[in-house]
Structure 1
Amino acid sequence: MKINQNLFAILGTFFLVAAVIYAIWTRGTEMVGITGLFGLAAMQYMVAYYLRLLDKEYKPGVDDKEDGEIAEYAGTYARFAPWSWWPLGLGAACAIVFLGVAIDWWIFIIGIGLGLFFVTGWVFEFSKGQHKH
């Protein structure tokens, strides 16, 4: 966890320096890039701070041990359904939502409805049929 904290802190510092250099280079006339780079720096620092808070609550991970081995990461992280069609439908619903943003609000509403349907189906796919727990 400490390695991740340091990585995000270093990235935050990099984006902060890049934002200052970019602001000087463009003489402050290009506000989108300057704001974006300062925003990136702020997000990196927020993630580093969040990881620092988590580090106080949880035990150290394998990557924090000096003698940690890659094989110690082995194990099951989650349960995945390779036969699931719900993510494909959700991706199509997201495409419809973005199409609705570009074209008209009624397409956006259809995309939101489809997205809710596919998210619900994906969440509850292990709660019915032969895969019920």
Structure 2
Amino acid sequence: MRIQGHLFAWLAVFMLAVAVVYGLWSQEPVGTTALFLSFALSAMIGFYLIFTARRVDVGAQDNKDADVADDAGELGFFSPHSWAPLLLGAGAALAFLGPVFGWWFLIFTVPVMFVGLWLWVFEYYRGENQTQ
């Protein structure tokens, strides 16, 4: 994880240099803003990865003499299939159409989003995935 953190940190430095040069050279605010936001996102991810790498065990990717088999084993818990994110995404997509068709459209889309969010948050408290 440390290698990925340093990659994102160097990407952030590069994005900052590109944003400054582009902003001074082009005087175009939209592209300059996008490049500065890319710098901020890269810096945030790099900081998180470097900070987290200090608190977790060294992975096989951080060891130069590691084999592929050294990273084998259980990787963690992954949620089973769920229809709730699809419902939440559909509700959000319809909600973004609210300004197009009229703000009254949000009356129908906000409940769809809340139902999708409710189902996603509480999916382990009911049904076949209920934890004991």
Q: How does 1:1-133 map to 2 (within 5 A)?
A: 1-26=1-26, 28=27, 30-71=28-69, 72-82=71-81, 84-133=82-131
Name the aligned partner's letter for residue 32 of structure 1.
V
Contact 1:62 1:73 in 2 (8 A): no
Name the aligned partner's letter for residue 61 of structure 1.
G
Contact 1:97 1:109 in 2 (8 A): no
Q: Deviations over 1:26-71 (max 9, x none)?
A: 1x2x111112212211221222222222222222222212233344
Distance 1:70 1:22, change over 3 A: same
- TM-score, normalised via structure 2 length: 0.81
Unaligned runs of 5+ in 1: none
Contact 2:91 2:110 in 1 (8 A): yes
CA RMSD of aligned residues (A): 2.1
The alignment covers a number of residue pairs equal to 130
Percent same amino acid among aligned pairs? 35
Name the aligned partner's letter for residue 126 of structure 1.
Y
Q: Shift of the alpha carbon at 1:116?
A: 1.5
- TM-score, normalised via structure 1 length: 0.80
Q: Distance in 2 between matches of 1:87 and 1:123?
A: 10
